[in-house]
């Protein structure tokens, strides 16, 4: 399983790339990576332009519909996965501003797909069962945090080519399973200076 995370810029408190802002004695991107690296085989980063200081991770730029938001990044990740010779079929996507993600995020999202397989088994599904899996909590869905199969490539490219760009709208056009997580705080999204200040000063971060 590959993991892709997508940095943002415009809503950052200091108007610099949000992923590179300091967080818990490191950077926000490092905090998210620390949560994800144990859960996946490789971590990729998607951004509208190359990032400096993240050489430890493979950067996967938008290749179609550049700048169209998270969906362009997810498509870039799926295309890269499709071209990869490793035969891996699933992409886990998360935004860079969710530093409290569950440590079992990948397992929980994948579980509906595994049926009788053990948790250590690779995800192998017939295409007809390749449903996307979307993280949800009691309050709302978090569609950027999802598990996507390479078979979604063509449909996503077509959606973007038709002018679509909203993740919720895209998810409504495909077969998707909602996977509910009990901890709302684990999906805290730092979009505003107020949210940043609230979570940055919490003692449990």
Express each pLDDT in 107-116 by its tens digit: 999 885 544 3
Residue 105 predicted with pLDDT over 90: yes
The residue among 13 and 163 whose pLDDT is bigger is 163
In this predicted structure, what is the pLDDT of residue 3? 57
pTM for the predicted model, two decimal places: 0.82
Q: Where are the beta strands (DSSP E) in 28-74?
A: 42-45, 58-59
Instruction: Answer yes or no: are the C-beta atoms of 83 and 2 closer than 8 Å.
Output: no
Q: How confident is the model at residue 205 (pLDDT cuts 50, 70, 90)?
A: very low
Predicted confidence (pLDDT) at residue 95 exceeds the cutoff of 80:
yes
Does the pLDDT of residue 84 top 90, yes or no?
no
E strand or H helix at 168, and its extent? helix 167-171
Q: How far is 192 from 195, CA to CA, in rounded Å? A: 5
């Amino acid at each position: 399983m590959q993991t892709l995370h997508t940095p943002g810029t415009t809503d950052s408190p200091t108007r610099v790339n949000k992923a590179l802002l300091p967080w818990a004695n490191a950077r926000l991107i490092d905090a998210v990576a620390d949560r994800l690296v144990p859960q996946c085989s490789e971590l990729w980063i998607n951004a509208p332009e190359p990032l400096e200081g993240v050489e430890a991770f493979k950067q996967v730029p938008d290749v179609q519909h550049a700048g169209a938001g998270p969906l362009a990044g997810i498509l870039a990740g799926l295309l890269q996965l499709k071209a990869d010779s490793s035969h891996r079929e699933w992409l886990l996507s998360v935004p860079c501003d969710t530093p409290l993600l569950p440590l079992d995020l990948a397992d929980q999202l994948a579980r509906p797909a595994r049926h009788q397989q053990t948790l250590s088994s690779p995800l192998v599904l017939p295409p007809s069962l390749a449903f996307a899996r979307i993280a949800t909590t009691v309050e709302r869905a978090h569609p950027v945090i999802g598990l996507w199969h390479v078979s979604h490539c063509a449909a996503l490219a077509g959606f973007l080519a038709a002018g679509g760009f909203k993740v919720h709208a895209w998810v409504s056009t495909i077969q998707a399973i909602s996977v509910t997580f009990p901890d709302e705080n684990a999906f805290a999204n730092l979009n505003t200076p107020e949210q940043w200040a609230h979570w940055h000063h919490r003692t449990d971060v």
